[in-house]
Structure 1
Amino acid sequence: MEQALQEKGFAFIHVKQLKDVRKTLTVFQEITNEMPVAVVCQYAKGLENNLQEYWSNGGSFPPLAQMPFFILADEKPIEDVQHFRARFRFVDDIITPNAWDHLEAKIATITKFKKISSFPAGEQQEVAAPRYTRHFLSNFMKRGLDLVVAPAILLPLLPVMLLIALLIRLESKGPVFYAATRAGRNYKVFKFYKFRTMVPDADKKLKELQHLNMYTDKKDGPVFFKVSNDPRITRLGKFLRNTSLDELPQLLNVIKGDMSLVGNRPLPLYEATTLTTDSYAERFLAPAGITGLWQVKKRGKKEMSIEERIELDISYAHQRSFRYDMWLILNTPKALVQKDDV
């Protein structure tokens, strides 16, 4: 881990025992009047006991409690991740060695979340929109709906998906699926699946199409990219997008728990890394989803601005509930057929 941190240009303090983190950082703060931006803990057997001891011996200390806490591990070292995260709520994410490239953005985003959640009640009342408070029953019902509906849709449509896969291979060379790294809730990064609707080298042509971007190109602030009648889209891809059939593989992401049926769209990292300010970071408080508020209200409409899209995402993050999700699901069919090739 230390070598990887050095190679990526991170400055760090090495502490051998978790229980000594608070003491070490207190001394460091007294000397430098600064604090590190995050804690990264190397996974090892018996870590659970050490994590409990860490929290008991100072992890709840405000400067540490507001600091992002990551566990660095190899692929899937923890069998029941949900149980683990429920037991150790101060653990913000379990990362793997391939996370170094976007760790800085992840730290920035989670830090914003923790600042938001730690606002005093008086400050919260001054905010225009109410902060979302987690409700266990609503979250439980939402996940239950995902696990029931996603397989129920996926299994009957397998023949259709096989036909789509065959047609994609016949139309153009390249993979059937488009797998991209996306950022979801709490900046969790995962592999996002869709049927490929563009030419195989579409990502390499992104810079060539910047002048066609429907969103205003700003030097500072959020960055989104969307092109009307994108020339990279294949003929079959145009049909798949207009009917939303290209999104069927995302049901696998829902079953895996990367996404939900309803939520804010997971963003490419180049977009997500521009949404770490107080004004925008709240949209990541909601889970990633296949459909959501802005898809229902604004899908396929050219006039939607960056600010309007983000406002809708933040609005959903504030208001989301199982009942609200059901309303969005019922209103999604009307938005499935787009009015524009975007």
Structure 2
Amino acid sequence: MYKRENDFATVLDTDSDRDAPTTKAGSGPNGARKIGSTIVLSVGSQVASVPPPVRRPRTERRYRSVVTGFDLFVLVIAHVVVTVGYHSFDQIDSWRTPVLIGASMTAAIVSLGIQKAWDERILGTGTEEYRRVVRGYVFAVAALAVAGYGWGTSAGQSWTFGSLLIALVLTLLGRTLLRRHLSKARTEGRYLHSVLVAGDVEEVHELVSRADCLRRAGWRVDGICLAVDRGADSLPVAIDDIPVLGTDEIVLAVAEQHNFEAVALLPSGRWPHARTRRLSWDLEKIGAELLIAPVLMDVVGPRLHISPLEGLPLLQMSAPSYSGPAWIVKNVFDRVLAVLILMVIAPALLAVAVAIKVGSRGPILFRQQRVGRGGTPFTMYKFRSMVVGADEHKDDIADHDIGAGVLFKVREDPRVTRVGRFIRRYSLDELPQLFNVVKGDMSLVGPRPPLECEVARYGEDGAARRLFVKPGVTGLWQVSGRSNLSWDESVRADLRYVENWTFMLDLSILRRTIRAVLSGDGAH
């Protein structure tokens, strides 16, 4: 602990600290002595306390040890497999073999270390973690290849292009399994860091509403300090069941009293640069971290860059790009994969078509005008899941609409046929949209394809930005709950995709779609 007294900082020692040995360091008039775990610097007549380095929580250090151990284990296994399975015994007996294996393993370990692939802050996060691992192995392979070319030898190629690639695949697979275990544990309330949130009511509510996302990231909001004037008459007892512990003027005291592991500052005009800097220093002294949320909460990933300006870190946001090589790869990938999927599921398409024809009167396919990229209308195909003329009975069930915003949603819709109920549950009615992907009207992954009447009712919530890209057969809206989402949640999911699109994000959504479809949750 510390307190200010006439512009001097006085260290308040515990009894154990007073009995601790004291050492001196430095030269001239300045010196340093250690009292317990606190270092005290003397500069002239002034005394200032310097907190010890803040250690990461024990759970993070333990998880890092597990990940590091597994990475090294699969690296050894990969080299053993290539050495025993590829080389003959006379090659293995050569003195060069252990040298080459050692060089290969050392290059991988050093490269992963340089890329900070074992940083506790990114372990279990997903995309960034995988990116650092891939980058580490790619640089290791490149360095070994250049070294081999420079020495004019091809020795070691099997370990460079064999062992390291095998190790990369096993590392990514292992980290995925470990991350899944960590995510499950966090969902159950374990391995979470306690966070105190400080900000305006609206911003706090926005953050707290994402409790599930926070838990998956390892954070749990346990307290709130509201940004209100000193003379505020009263404070709410809680916001979304999270207790309000005071105002933002006593953030430090609340964080210290309740042992919060981090303080999250939300956008507010009450936190200028100088005050925020002082808070960061004070939090260091109690072993807590400072989290600062940007104004644009849904913009992350490659669009954000730190641009230092004379020591002032500016968060630079570049405009989203929907062109270039990555976008070409996405379009080619969509069409090729859509064709392959149609070839594989052709028997299932035929079976669904027969069931629809036998189950009710009417056409097999349902055609509907939807709005595509840039506001261009197109005809979307689906398997018919409702009775013929369902739109004519829409007004009859208007009172049962549970949708928010511009969506029309009805649970247990009486217009849905018996076959339609089954194919909707497992999203089989969406399969004909693969033909839209082949035609180029849609993408495999993208925002929900809107109706023309929905587009006409778009407001100022940014929903129109969804038209920047092609609509998708699946997307964040589907893997996040499908029809269980409110209008605001659906728009937020689609905007998150539009603002932060990457090819890796597409692959992640496709993987999560399989689980969402099999569970059938949110389909009605």
Cα distance between partner residues in 1 of 2:389 and 2:377: 23
Q: Deviation digits for residues 285-328 of structure 1, max 9, x if unmatched?
A: 12210000111112243xx2211111111111001121110111
Aligned to 2:339: 151
Cα distance between partner residues in 2 of 1:257 and 1:144: 10
Cα distance between partner residues in 2 of 1:340 and 1:294: 11
Asked if structure 2 preserves the Cα contact closer than 8 Å seen for 1:259 and 1:290, the reply is: yes
Aligned to 1:267: 450
Structure 2 unaligned regions, length at least 5: 1-293, 300-316
Give the one of 373, 382, 389 matched to 1:185. Answer: 373
Q: Deviation digits for residues 140-169 of structure 1, max 9, x if unmatched?
A: 111111121101010122222122111111
Aligned-residue offset at 1:245: 1.0
Q: Deviation digits for residues 65-120 of structure 1, max 9, x if unmatched?
A: xxxxxxxxxxxxxxxxxxxxxxxxxxxxxxxxxxxxxxxxxxxxxxxxxxxxxxxx
Give the one of 438, 444, 465 matched to 1:255. Answer: 438
Q: Compare relative contact order (CA 8 Å, sep 6+) and give the higher one, 1 or 2.
A: 1
Same amino acid, percent of matched pairs: 36
1:173 aligns with 2:341: no
Aligned to 2:521: 339
Aligned-residue offset at 1:339: 2.6
Aligned to 2:503: 322
Cα distance between partner residues in 2 of 1:293 and 1:127: 18
Aligned to 1:207: 395
Cα distance between partner residues in 2 of 1:341 and 1:264: 17
Give the one of 489, 493, 498 matched to 1:312. Answer: 493
Aligned-residue offset at 1:209: 1.6
Change (3 A) 1:278 1:186: farther
| Counterpart code for 2:450 | L
1:287 aligns with 2:459: no
Cα distance between partner residues in 2 of 1:147 and 1:341: 26
Change (3 A) 1:278 1:233: closer
Give the one of 345, 349, 352 matched to 1:161. Answer: 349
| Counterpart code for 2:511 | L
- TM-score scaled to structure 2, two decimals? 0.39
Secondary structure of the 2:381 match is strand
Aligned to 2:416: 233
| Counterpart code for 1:155 | M
Aligned to 1:33: none
Asked if structure 2 preserves the Cα contact closer than 8 Å seen for 1:223 and 1:271, the reply is: yes
1:52-63 superposed matches below 5 A: none
Secondary structure of the 1:308 match is helix
Q: Deviation digits for residues 159-196 of structure 1, max 9, x if unmatched?
A: 22122111111111111000000012211110000000
Asked if structure 2 preserves the Cα contact closer than 8 Å seen for 1:179 and 1:191, the reply is: yes
Deviates more, 1:244-253 or 1:163-172: 163-172
Aligned-residue offset at 1:278: 6.1
1:16-55 superposed matches below 5 A: none
Cα distance between partner residues in 1 of 2:444 and 2:322: 18
Aligned-residue offset at 1:198: 0.5
Aligned to 2:155: none
Aligned-residue offset at 1:340: 4.7
Cα distance between partner residues in 1 of 2:333 and 2:514: 18
Cα distance between partner residues in 1 of 2:398 and 2:342: 36
Higher strand fraction (1 or 2)? 2
Asked if structure 2 preserves the Cα contact closer than 8 Å seen for 1:299 and 1:338, the reply is: no
| Counterpart code for 1:332 | T
Change (3 A) 1:226 1:141: same
Asked if structure 2 preserves the Cα contact closer than 8 Å seen for 1:228 and 1:341, the reply is: no
Cα distance between partner residues in 1 of 2:480 and 2:327: 24
Aligned to 2:306: none
Asked if structure 2 preserves the Cα contact closer than 8 Å seen for 1:228 and 1:340, the reply is: no
| Counterpart code for 1:261 | L
Cα distance between partner residues in 2 of 1:340 and 1:262: 18
Cα distance between partner residues in 1 of 2:437 and 2:461: 28
Asked if structure 2 preserves the Cα contact closer than 8 Å seen for 1:296 and 1:331, the reply is: yes
Secondary structure of the 1:332 match is helix
Aligned-residue offset at 1:234: 0.6
Cα distance between partner residues in 1 of 2:322 and 2:383: 33
Asked if structure 2 preserves the Cα contact closer than 8 Å seen for 1:215 and 1:225, the reply is: yes
Aligned to 1:35: none
Aligned to 1:98: none
Cα distance between partner residues in 2 of 1:168 and 1:127: 46
Structure 1 unaligned regions, length at least 5: 1-124, 217-221
Aligned residues: 211
Asked if structure 2 preserves the Cα contact closer than 8 Å seen for 1:184 and 1:265, the reply is: no
Secondary structure of the 1:252 match is helix
Aligned to 1:36: none
- TM-score scaled to structure 1, two decimals? 0.59
RMSD: 1.8
| Counterpart code for 1:212 | H
| Counterpart code for 1:339 | D
Cα distance between partner residues in 2 of 1:319 and 1:164: 36
Asked if structure 2 preserves the Cα contact closer than 8 Å seen for 1:193 and 1:253, the reply is: yes
Secondary structure of the 1:194 match is strand
Asked if structure 1 preserves the Cα contact closer than 8 Å seen for 2:447 and 2:470, the reply is: yes
Change (3 A) 1:310 1:249: same
